[in-house]
Amino acid sequence: MGPIETVRERCRKCYSCVRNCPVKAIKVGPEWAEVIHARCIGCGKCLKVCSQQAKVIANCIEGTRRILGEGQNVIAVLGCSYPAFFNDLRPGQLVSGLKKLGFAEVHEGSTGVELIAATYQDLILAPNSAPLISSHCPTIVDLIERHYPQLLRNLMPVVSPMVAIGRFLKERGGPQTRVIYISSCIAGKFEVASEEVAGAIDLVLTYRELSQMFRDQSLDLTRLSDAPFAGRKPDKGRLFPLSGGPFQAFDVRNDFLNPDFISTGGAESCLELIRDLAARRITPRWVDIRFCEGGCIGGPGKNNRLTTFAKRNLVINSYQTQDLPYDSQALYQHEQPLPQLQRRFSNKLKRLEPPNGESVRSILQATNKFVEQDEFDCGACGYPTCREYAVAVYQGLADTEMCLPFSIKRLEEDRVSLTQKYELAQRALAQEYGDPAIIGKDPRTLDVLKLIRQVGPTPTTVLIRGESGTGKELTARAIHEHSSRADKPLVTVNCTTLTDSLLESELFGHKKGSFTGAIADKKGLFEAANGGTIFLDEIGDITPKLQAELLRVLDSGELKPVGGTLPHKVDVRLIAATNRNLEDGVREGWFREDLFYRLNVFTITMPPLRSRRESLPQLVHHFLAAASKRLNKPIRGIEDRAIAALMRYHWPGNIRELQNIIERGSVLTQDNVIRIENLPSIFSQLALEGDDNGNNAENSFRGQREKHLEQVEKSLIRKYLEEARGNVSLAARKANIPRRTFYRILARHGLKGNEFKTSAAP
């Protein structure tokens, strides 16, 4: 376990940690992105950029409590940047709070800076050949040890201020002394665990962890009175946490024009400097370098409520005021040899095997990058170039799915193929469980069926008109079924559900970059319907701009994706539907006349249900059977009174409304027969009106006509069956009606072919 941990279930694989990690120490697995501790330098960038807080600092609160509970001499050392974190407390109050937590003494970390100051000064001012790199920032030490080991010999062989004070306190206090260092730095947690300085500090807490400990104890520090610090009172060491502060703390005069001395902070600038040094592009005498912007006051555990400059002022103020309470014991004051301040560094580079050119090429090809122009270097994967990303894939740090343009393209292809498969599966289902039959034997429905049969096999564009719920979509399906394209997809698009720009890209596709969010090429539904039929429902709702584009596609048979320049051919039959009056649209200017004529080649107008009432009982029985199947409930029928009431209703929602009412009744019925009470209340009123008139459906003119027609139909069918000696196919041919229709009529009259086997020969 390292100082930065991953809360796996919070990771959403957004790759922002990969993008921001300066040393690519993140490995992306199938479900989460994890820190590789051997490569991590503890800079905390991943903590900052993870919006899900899936990266967290390893918690040292429990460890601190355990040490405090052991009853030894436990000393707290406040890192030099503490005035910039605890800005709303007096330092003495902070000391009081720490003592209430159980710490025996509280020291200022700036003392550690002053312990190493003379050594730094000597080394800096002595003649040396290699540029010296300051080693007081643990992130810089990790960066060089783990990634730039060629600079190990340039690191100043001196411990950090934290280690110096740890050793100093332990030497003075004896072996029982425990030291907890508190700062904004998380790389310090790494540092104390490294074998070169092991034992100097027992644990590193962040300021936030300390604040949590105060909260856990319900300690309100603002109410505490001041307690004194212990140990040596520091002076210029207090300026150390600021950018450039080490020059003050180590008493090194920095001349602005002197190229021998460089001081810098911030990830980019540090990396640039380290690379310059590694490549020997520059040869200064000394570089004072810290990874965090602005110095230690910008550490990952910093106070986020204050700006860098406000924090800088707080630190300067703490140096200038100098009036902190101190109560130092003699053991810290009298002269004694300094602790061991020397340290060595080791090569901790874990080299990952570099791929050869062939491997990089094959990884690039696996993500659709065949020529240089295919390498967008978009950075979405977290790597600045496609090549660096390919190397990371080879080294097991990344996987191919991280390439966003590749993944989007693959999803797009999947979507098109799934749309096609869905359509085919739907048709297979329809064939197995009965086709979506158009029910009705009234003359107007029969006319529609005739038109479907006529236009189906042709390539003609069809415009289906009619009120909502009259069966326009059903008719479009039937036309497709009757066409030679029946084994190809029928893609249905409801034009009202999408905004204009979305609809355009849905229909025709788009090119990458054609609008915000178009991060990869996308194929449109016209393309998904290639070879088949596209059904544009509610075509009256599309805007004039889209009408123009549609007209262009219909006229040329060519598609041009949004943002694309090259058109390409598609073979799609168009069926459109609308319940709006397009002639009004042409007159009023909201529908293009040329498109209207282009669509109005062959029009089928769906009759409203109120004009084909004689088919209502048949539709009711059809929907009853369907509801019975869907609800898995053996619905036996519907009472005559209910049918009569249904016949009297004006059906504004047409067949869809009837279908819904029957399904509702099927749910409500207690005895599997739909009764008037199972229908909406309007039907009870209609039933009463019918009863009052004493004029039920049976006795009405329509009812009588219906009855007689039924009788005539039945006797005709009997005649054909007798002539064909019960051979249904032959009887259907003689009657000149399709066999399936003949069977349906037989079923309706309760007749069976074999009852006529012995009839006289024709």
Ligand X SMILES: Nc1ncnc2c1ncn2[C@@H]1O[C@H](COP(=O)(O)OP(=O)(O)OP(=O)(O)O)[C@@H](O)[C@H]1O
Pairing of strands 286-290, 261-265: parallel
DSSP 132: E
Residue 481: name the closest of 532, 447, 528, 525 by CA.
532
* Residues in binding contact with ligand X, number by CB under 6 A: 19
Q: Which helix (H) or strand (E) holds 485?
A: none
**Stretch touching ligand X by CB under 6 A, among 19-27, 85-93, 150-158, 432-440:** 432-440
Give the rounded distance of the alpha carbon of 655 from its chain centre: 40
Residue 595 beta carbon to ligand X: minimum distance, rounded to whole angstroms: 19
Determine which residue in the list 208, 415, 656, 733 makes contact with ligand X, applying CB under 6 A.
Answer: 656
Q: Are 25 and 39 in contact (CB under 8 A)?
A: yes
Residue placing its CB nearer to ligand X in the complex, 210 or 493: 493
Position of minimal CB gap to ligand X: 471
Residue 45 beta carbon to ligand X: minimum distance, rounded to whole angstroms: 54
Residue 542 beta carbon to ligand X: minimum distance, rounded to whole angstroms: 15
**Stretch touching ligand X by CB under 6 A, among 157-165, 259-267, 401-409, 655-663:** 655-663
Residue type, 213: M
Residue placing its CB nearer to ligand X in the complex, 305 or 453: 453
Determine which residue in the list 395, 400, 426, 468 makes contact with ligand X, applying CB under 6 A.
Answer: 468
If binding is defined by CB under 6 A, does position 481 make contact with ligand X?
Answer: no
For the segment 294-323, give every residue that binds ligand X (CB under 6 A). Answer: none
For the segment 540-579, give every residue that binds ligand X (CB under 6 A). Answer: 579
Alpha carbon dihedral 483, 487, 488, 493, in 10-degree steps, equals 70
Residue placing its CB nearer to ligand X in the complex, 454 or 501: 454
Q: Are 150 and 268 in contact (CB under 8 A)?
A: no
Give residues with Cβ within 8 angstroms of 457, minimum separation 6: 482, 483, 484
For the segment 599-628, give every residue that binds ligand X (CB under 6 A). Answer: 619, 622
Residue placing its CB nearer to ligand X in the complex, 471 or 585: 471
Determine which residue in the list 160, 659, 669, 678 makes contact with ligand X, applying CB under 6 A.
Answer: 659
CA angle 296, 85, 165 (to 5 degrees): 55
For the segment 578-597, give every residue that binds ligand X (CB under 6 A). Answer: 579
**Stretch touching ligand X by CB under 6 A, among 97-105, 206-214, 471-479, 631-639:** 471-479
Determine which residue in the list 470, 505, 547, 666 makes contact with ligand X, applying CB under 6 A.
Answer: 470
Pairing of strands 74-78, 178-183: parallel
**Stretch touching ligand X by CB under 6 A, among 73-81, 431-439, 560-568, 632-640:** 431-439
If binding is defined by CB under 6 A, does position 473 make contact with ligand X?
Answer: yes
Mapping DSSP to helix (H, G, I), strand (E, B) and coil, where does residue 447 land? helix
Give the rounded distance of the alpha carbon of 517 from its chain centre: 13
Residue 716 neighbours by CB distance under 10 Å: 12
Residue 437 beta carbon to ligand X: minimum distance, rounded to whole angstroms: 6
Residue 9 beta carbon to ligand X: minimum distance, rounded to whole angstroms: 43
**7: which 2 tokens?**
């809360």
Residue placing its CB nearer to ligand X in the complex, 340 or 431: 431
For the stretch 579-588, contacts whose Cβ atoms lie closer than 8 Å and that sit 24 or more positions apart, written own/partner, are 579/465, 579/466, 579/467, 579/468, 579/472, 579/538, 579/540, 580/538, 580/540, 580/541, 582/465, 582/540, 585/540
Pairing of strands 533-537, 573-578: parallel
Residue 629 beta carbon to ligand X: minimum distance, rounded to whole angstroms: 14
If binding is defined by CB under 6 A, does position 436 make contact with ligand X?
Answer: yes
Residues in the chain: 762
Q: Are 291 and 196 in contact (CB under 8 A)?
A: no
Residue placing its CB nearer to ligand X in the complex, 142 or 614: 614
For the stretch 566-571, contacts whose Cβ atoms lie closer than 8 Å and that sit 24 or more positions apart, written own/partner, are 570/526, 570/527, 570/529, 570/530, 571/530, 571/531
Residue 619 beta carbon to ligand X: minimum distance, rounded to whole angstroms: 6
Residue placing its CB nearer to ligand X in the complex, 308 or 468: 468
Distance CA 738, CA 63 (A): 87
**Stretch touching ligand X by CB under 6 A, among 399-407, 467-475, 512-520, 702-710:** 467-475
Distance CA 296, CA 183 (A): 9
Give residues with Cβ within 8 angstroms of 47, minimum separation 6: 4, 55, 56, 57, 186, 300
Determine which residue in the list 472, 485, 511, 641 makes contact with ligand X, applying CB under 6 A.
Answer: 472
For the segment 513-542, give every residue that binds ligand X (CB under 6 A). Answer: 537
Residue placing its CB nearer to ligand X in the complex, 20 or 468: 468
Determine which residue in the list 438, 554, 586, 751 makes contact with ligand X, applying CB under 6 A.
Answer: 438
If binding is defined by CB under 6 A, does position 234 make contact with ligand X?
Answer: no
Residue placing its CB nearer to ligand X in the complex, 385 or 468: 468
Give residues with Cβ within 8 angstroms of 276, minimum separation 6: 282
Residue placing its CB nearer to ligand X in the complex, 444 or 552: 444
Residue placing its CB nearer to ligand X in the complex, 402 or 474: 474
Distance CA 371, CA 640 (A): 74
Residue 684 beta carbon to ligand X: minimum distance, rounded to whole angstroms: 24
Per-residue contact track with ligand X, 439 to 458, x per CB under 6 A?
Answer: xx------------------
If binding is defined by CB under 6 A, does position 474 make contact with ligand X?
Answer: yes
Residue 599 beta carbon to ligand X: minimum distance, rounded to whole angstroms: 16
Distance CA 113, CA 246 (A): 9
State the residues that interact with ligand X by CB under 6 A.
436, 438-440, 466, 468-474, 537, 579, 619, 622, 655-656, 659
